[in-house]
Amino acid sequence: MTRIRENRLTATFALLTVLSAGILAGSVLTRSVSGKEQQVDSSDARPLTIPSPVTMSNEFSKITKAVGPAVVNINTITLPKQAAQARRNRRQQPNPGGDDDQQTPGDMQDFFNRFFGGQGGGDDGASNFEREALGSGFIVDSRGYIITNNHVIDKADKIYVKLDSDPDNPLDHGHPARVIGTDPETDIAVIKIDASQPLPTVKLGNSDGAQVGDWVLAIGSPFSLSETVTAGIVSAKNRSIDEPGPNGGTNQFQKFIQTDAAINPGNSGGPLVDMAGQVIGMNTAIYTQSMGSQGVGFAMPSNIIANVYNMLISPEHKVIRGSIGITFQGSEQAAVGRVYGFANGGVHVSSVTPDGPASKGGVKAGDVIVSIDGKPVKNGDQLVADISSRKVGSTVQLGVLRDDKQQTLSVGIADLAKLFANLGKEQDDTAPPAESDAGEGKLGITVTPVPGTLASKLGIKGGVIITNVRPGSFADEINLAKGAIITEIDTASSKRPVTDQAAYQSIVSGLKSGDDVAFIVRATSGTGAAAGPTYFGGTLP
């Protein structure tokens, strides 16, 4: 047994010795193989060479090279509120010369501030720190005149411009700029820098030539990324981006080119360029829910820019727009046009400013303006564009349709700002409680007589107040609203004033299915003719 145990131990030690030797030999062999792999011969490999640059010819790059040097970055600085407030107070002091025709930003300016942050974040109460903002612009005169958006430089205490040729130094703001003039109505501003030598300029194009589907480039500094170029197409023209008001819109001078070229915060004021290398618009706003581009951008057309620019660089440094002293409804149902005989185009006059040019020329509320100097007028936008561009003091020949007969009236052109400077609206008492009405079943409304005091204040001879509108009814479909005053109900065959509730019931009872019906309506606010009538209409089911 002893010998057997000794033989087993001997065999075990021998086995362990053999295994150890195998492990050592494997390690040596592996190391030898690795060493051989690392020493592979690569003497026959050829080194890479960088070829000479090849210029890929395309219109985008050619246009960018031509236009880019005239596109600038605009840096603005808004000082703390305490320092800036005194300057603002000084600017708001009464004019010793007695000229009250001052232009101030309207609701549309707040709209642009929401889109692009504005200057100062839109909250003066928090302006305790110096803040900087960035926008774009483009040089139109080699002596240093630059066009940009008003909202880019609005409320800024310091404005700096960086040229394409300036060194890329983040500590250097650029060339100091001063404001030449601004027009909040179109959100256009002109600034100037002093130049020691002629500066490169853009070539302005005619925006009327732009067609939906045309390629365009947007150039600017989105998100502080200077000299950025994006491409897209013209996706729409003559676009409004604010809901119109009752008299054609509070921002009736803003009609945009819509594009899907990426426009982002910082692109404001930069040019929109066509394939001829001409600037056909200025990037102004975006439609977005995330403060980033979603493929819907808006540019102010170059034709509007040129007209505004020429007035801002004039000695007055402000925009003077012509007016004839009327208000009109922005849009009307087709039935209204058919009832009053202007289904193919025209502008329905809601009110005439007392002692204004239209009033002196014989224009009356209810007239339809169908031509200017013999040229047809399609709608209110066309009328405003034509009249506002006319020189104050000149005259126009208006073709007017009244009682189905056309006549020509000679009307002067006045300063829009001065003409409407003193017009305001007053709030009136609410309408009396509703009563049952005979037109409820046919029209879907209930009415009550207009109180005498309210009729006198509004300058009307009577009428009925809508006290309730049934959802889904005929009145609801044509947008008749509670609180409106119906003063007249017209059809193609008859035009009958609503003097009281009895007259209203008589007229409504005579209406038949299929009739084109138009309602002349007055709001329960305003004083005299300044309030003006509104027209609603539709085909009675």
Q: Which residues are catalytic?
A: 151, 187, 268
Structural contact between residues 76 and 135, judged by C-beta atoms closer than 8 angstroms: yes
d(CA 130, CA 84): 10
Contacts of 213 (CB under 8 A, 6+ apart): 233, 234
Other CB atoms within 10 A of residue 105 CB? 17
Residue whose tokens read 């007016």: 323
Structural contact between residues 242 and 252, judged by C-beta atoms closer than 8 angstroms: no
Nearest to 528 by CA among 393, 404, 352, 389: 352
Characterize the bridge pairing of strands 405-412 and 414-415.
unpaired
- Local structure of 249: helix, strand or coil: coil
Nearest to 246 by CA among 350, 366, 352: 350
d(CA 516, CA 340): 10
Q: Give Cα separations from 40 to 28, 34, 36, 44, 46 (angstroms).
A: 19, 10, 7, 11, 15
Residue type, 161: V
510: left (phi over 0), alpha (psi -120 to 50) or beta: alpha
- Local structure of 39: helix, strand or coil: coil
> Quick one: which H or E segment has residue 211?
none
Distance from CA of residue 442 to its chain's centroid? 40
Quick one: tokens of 216?
């365009």
- Local structure of 279: helix, strand or coil: strand
Nearest to 534 by CA among 334, 246, 250, 318: 246
Cross-strand partners of 287: none
Residue type, 409: L
